[in-house]
Amino acid sequence: MKPILIRSVTILHPASKFNNKLADVLIKDGKIAGLSDKIIAKDDVVVIDGKGKYLSPGFLDLNANFGEPGFETKEDLISGAAAAIAGGFTGVAIQPSTNPVIHSKSEVSYIVNRTKDFITDVYPVGSISHNREGKDLAELYDMRLSGAIAFSDGTRPVTDSGLMSRALLYAKGFDGLVFSFPEDSSIAGKGKMNEGTVSTYLGMKGIPALAEEVHISRDLYLAEYNDCPIHFSTISSAGSVDLIRKAKKKGLKVSCDVAAHHLTLTDEALTEFDSNYKVKPPLRASSDVLALLKGIKDGTIDAIVSQHTPHEIEFKEVEFEIASFGIIGLQTVLPLLVKAGLPPENIVEKLAIKPREILNLPVPSFEEGEDANLVLFDLDSEWIFDNTTNRSKASNSPFFNQSLKGKVFLACNKAQVFNNF
């Protein structure tokens, strides 16, 4: 790759002396070769005007679903990674919702080896239970040795309290981290959307916020009893934010994330029965959205995720009742956070800094001689999310064929460059 000089760009990196300042950045041979107020361009350098744009460490997504192995028609590793880098994600943790399930060192090793040369770092999340059945513990330690970054049963909640307790305690022994998807299935039942005024109006079975909050309460007790860290995936209700805020004040080792779409959409979007708005946890009420945004600003919510869930057309373009849960989201996270009104510093903290801290990964350094793991973006440029810009195999998104504000222009990792000018 030719050397790249980004001129007069605003640096967003809390550990950099140039944080929130304008600087020139030179990238050469996959490393940051220069970072200063002014860099003289040479003839062989590609010069990029960074005015009005931001440069930060590459984003890292804690929750994405790729289909491979087994469900490659939904998304394979190549297409999923392509969607990730287009969204500014130089790292992505993928859920074990595959076939076979990522529940042993074989599947973990396959993903690690298959993706080692990708521009995006792909981190497999191993399942908590064998085959995600919630009965027996999977091979947690073996998976960790093979490269599993954390453990989760995806959107299948671990209903057995004893199993979850043992998983937390076992993972603690080797500094592993358990992700909890909080939903009490006995309360959620066969609900299809948030239980509330809109579900009553539509005559549809609802999933009450109580189902999420009861499960969070249980897992907080288990984490406290075992003195273990725990991470809650995709919380969605005001009550959940309050529970986690109190747990943090109490000193528990708890972290959590929220899906980007839960910050801008409410259950009122479902009045037309568009299955592209059918997600789990479901879109909640406007009061929940406000509580989530407050939780982001006060530090209760640590990270924001895509919850990228691709589906073939036959799983979504059907009656709402039988449509599958989930939307694709890797390329729309940044525009949704712009729409939610988050400032750029907040965006970088929740997409680039905190996710790595949760996974105990080093935050890419902005120092001369360090590997260039970064993303260049702005909050004002508009682009259309359609068949020409979509990098995923799937198109199940309520934002498809819409003009979105907030664009990733360039991303760099492992001496490779994604260029979207």
Show which of 358, 377, 395 is a domain's final residue: 358
**Ordered DSSP codes for 220-255:** HHHHHHHT--EEE-S--SHHHHHHHHHHHHHT--EE
Residues 221 and 96 in one domain: yes
Rounded to 5 degrees, φ, ψ at 194 are -65, 135
Residues 71 and 154 in one domain: yes
Residues 225 and 285 in one domain: yes
Task: Give the burial class of 38: count Cβ atoms within 10 A of its Cβ; 0-12 exposed, 13-18 middle, 19 or more buried.
Answer: exposed
pLDDT for residue 42:
82
Instruction: Name the band, by pLDDT with cuts 50, 70 and 90, for residue 41.
Output: confident
Answer yes or no: is pLDDT of 191 > 90: yes
Show which of 358, 379, 411 is a domain's final residue: 358
- In this prediction, residues 6-12 reach a mean pLDDT of 98
Query: Is residue 3 a contact partner of residue 18, using CB atoms and an 8 Å limit?
Result: no
Residues 32 and 64 in one domain: no
What are the tens digits of pLDDT across the range 87-99?
A: 999 999 999 999 9
Residues 43 and 76 in one domain: no
pTM: 0.97
Residues 312 and 395 in one domain: no
What are the tens digits of pLDDT across the range 258-273?
A: 999 999 999 999 999 9
Question: What's the CATH number where 62 sits?
Answer: 3.20.20.140
Residues 40 and 76 in one domain: no
Residues 82 and 67 in one domain: yes
Query: Is residue 242 a contact partner of residue 181, using CB atoms and an 8 Å limit?
Result: no
Please give the Cα distance from 264 to 259 (Å, whole number).
10
Range of the domain at 394: 4-55+367-419
Question: What's the CATH number where 390 sits?
Answer: 2.30.40.10
Residues 295 and 374 in one domain: no
Q: Over the chain, what is the mean pLDDT?
A: 97
β-bridge partners, 408:
377
What are the tens digits of pLDDT across the range 192-226?
A: 999 999 999 999 999 999 999 999 999 999 999 99
The rounded Cα 421 to chain-centroid distance in angstroms is 24
Q: Tell me, what amino acid is at 159?
A: T
pLDDT for residue 43:
77
DSSP state of 363: P
Residues 48 and 62 in one domain: no
How many domains are contained in the chain?
Answer: 2
Residues 62 and 51 in one domain: no
Show which of 336, 358, 380 is a domain's final residue: 358
Q: Which two tokens stand for residue 53?
A: 């744009």
Long-range contacts of 36-39 (CB under 8 A, 24+ apart): 39/5, 39/7
Residues 413 and 268 in one domain: no
Rounded to 5 degrees, φ, ψ at 90 are -90, 0
Q: What is the side-by-side strand order in the sheet with 121-126?
A: 59-64, 89-94, 121-126, 150-151
Query: Is residue 32 a contact partner of residue 366, using CB atoms and an 8 Å limit?
Result: yes
Q: Which of 78, 83, 72 is nearest to 328 (CA)?
A: 83
290 Cβ partners below 8 Å, 6+ apart? Answer: 238
Answer yes or no: is pLDDT of 1 > 80: no
Instruction: Name the band, by pLDDT with cuts 50, 70 and 90, for residue 32.
Output: very high
